[in-house]
């Protein structure tokens, strides 16, 4: 049962909102009264998410089409959003590059782009949005990561490296922000416990990781994100690990 007051008055940024985890999450938070700022690269699917969120009762849904691989575009977006005030930033957009068996194969230029999207863009946005949260005395940044950040398997070297770097970038922020915000503001959400237990999204299809193994429903990811707002002001779930309960 949705509690419309849970996120009432909060402006929530969700990157990668056009599909997959981000789309489901956007609709979920719309049901809980959040004002939404949705970002993805392509506009068409994003407009569909916007319409779904409006139908779910979101009081306000703003959309921005932005290539997160483009530092200038990210800077412009971040400055604009900082001026509007963002209470919650959910850094969800991500790409997967490199499914080869040999981790050293693949195109390094694609790795560079992946690092710009998976690491540099959320860091830049955080840098621009965190001061506003500090001024308000509260805020929340949600890092949608991957277990491959900490449990790398025999493949996916470049992707795992990007997610490790992404998570590492949040640690200093936690140290800096905690005394100012009064509560730790960063929620690390690791989607899966073991490689192979992946959310059912287009990324999962692209990478072919599902392969008959258990998959996490993006609705469960959304519920995990909401835990940060259901806890008392004295507590924040710093790290959540989701894993599929059984193979499919």
Ligand X SMILES: NC(=O)c1ccc[n+]([C@@H]2O[C@H](COP(=O)([O-])OP(=O)(O)OC[C@H]3O[C@@H](n4cnc5c(N)ncnc54)[C@H](OP(=O)(O)O)[C@@H]3O)[C@@H](O)[C@H]2O)c1
Q: Residue 203 interacts with ligand X (CB under 6 A)?
A: yes
| Cα–Cα distance measured from residue 120 to residue 74, given in angstroms and rounded to the nearest whole number | 9
How far, in Å, are 139, 185, 187 from residue 40 at the CA level?
22, 24, 21
Q: Which of residues 142-161 bind ligand X (CB under 6 A)?
A: 144, 146
Pairing of strands 88-91, 35-40: unpaired
Locate all alpha helices (DSSP H) within 186-237, ordered by sequence: 202-207, 218-230
Which of 140, 199, 224, 236 contacts ligand X by CB under 6 A? 199
How far, in Å, are 40, 87, 178 from residue 131 at the CA level?
23, 11, 13
Q: Which position has the token pair 């073991």?
A: 194
Q: What is the DSSP letter of 241?
A: E
For residue 64, the surrounding DSSP H or E stretch is strand 61-65
181 or 198, CB closer to ligand X? 198
Which of 26, 50, 63, 92 contacts ligand X by CB under 6 A? 92
21 or 120, CB closer to ligand X? 21
> CB 51 → ligand X: shortest distance, Å?
15
Q: Residue 11 interacts with ligand X (CB under 6 A)?
A: no
Q: Give the side-chain half-sphere CA count within 13 A for 220.
A: 16
Name residue 91's beta-bridge partners: 143
Confirm if 213 and 248 have CB atoms less than 8 A apart.
yes
Confirm if 182 and 230 have CB atoms less than 8 A apart.
no
Rounded to the nearest 5 degrees, what angle is found at the Cα of 141, between the Cα atoms of 245 and 120? 100
| Cα–Cα distance measured from residue 123 to residue 106, given in angstroms and rounded to the nearest whole number | 25
The token pair at 54 is: 């409006």
Q: Which stretch binds ligand X (CB under 6 A): 29-37, 50-58, 91-99, 149-157?
A: 91-99
> CB 177 → ligand X: shortest distance, Å?
21
Q: Which stretch binds ligand X (CB under 6 A): 52-60, 98-106, 200-208, 240-248?
A: 200-208
78 or 181, CB closer to ligand X? 78
> CB 134 → ligand X: shortest distance, Å?
25
> CB 210 → ligand X: shortest distance, Å?
8
Q: Which stretch binds ligand X (CB under 6 A): 52-60, 102-110, 128-136, 191-199?
A: 191-199
41 or 167, CB closer to ligand X? 41
117 or 157, CB closer to ligand X? 117
> CB 73 → ligand X: shortest distance, Å?
9
> CB 72 → ligand X: shortest distance, Å?
13
Q: Residue 19 interacts with ligand X (CB under 6 A)?
A: yes
Applying CB under 6 A, the residues found at the interface with ligand X are 16-22, 40-42, 45, 66-69, 92-95, 117, 144, 146, 191-192, 198-199, 201-204, 209
């Amino acid at each position: 049962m949705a509690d419309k007051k849970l996120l009432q008055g909060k402006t929530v940024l969700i990157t990668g909102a056009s599909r997959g985890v981000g789309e489901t999450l956007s609709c979920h938070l719309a049901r809980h009264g959040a004002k939404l700022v949705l970002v993805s690269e392509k506009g068409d699917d994003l407009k569909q998410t916007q319409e779904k969120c409006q139908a779910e009762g979101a009081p306000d849904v703003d959309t921005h089409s932005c290539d997160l691989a483009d530092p200038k575009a990210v800077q412009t977006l971040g400055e604009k959003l900082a001026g509007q005030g963002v209470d919650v930033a959910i850094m969800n957009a991500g790409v997967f590059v490199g499914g080869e068996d040999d981790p050293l194969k693949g195109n390094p230029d694609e790795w560079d782009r992946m690092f710009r999207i998976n690491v540099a863009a959320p860091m830049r946005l955080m840098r621009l949005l965190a001061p506003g949260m500090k001024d308000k005395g509260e805020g929340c940044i949600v890092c949608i990561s991957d277990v491959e950040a900490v449990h790398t398997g025999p493949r996916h070297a470049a992707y795992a490296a990007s997610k490790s770097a992404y998570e590492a970038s949040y640690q200093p922020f936690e140290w800096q922000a905690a005394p100012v915000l009064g509560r730790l503001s960063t929620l690390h959400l690791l989607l899966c416990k073991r490689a192979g237990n992946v959310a059912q999204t287009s990324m999962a299809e692209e990478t072919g990781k599902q392969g008959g193994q258990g998959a996490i429903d993006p609705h469960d990811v959304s519920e995990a994100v909401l835990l940060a707002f259901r806890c008392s002001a004295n507590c924040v779930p710093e790290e959540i690990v989701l894993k599929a309960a059984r193979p499919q």
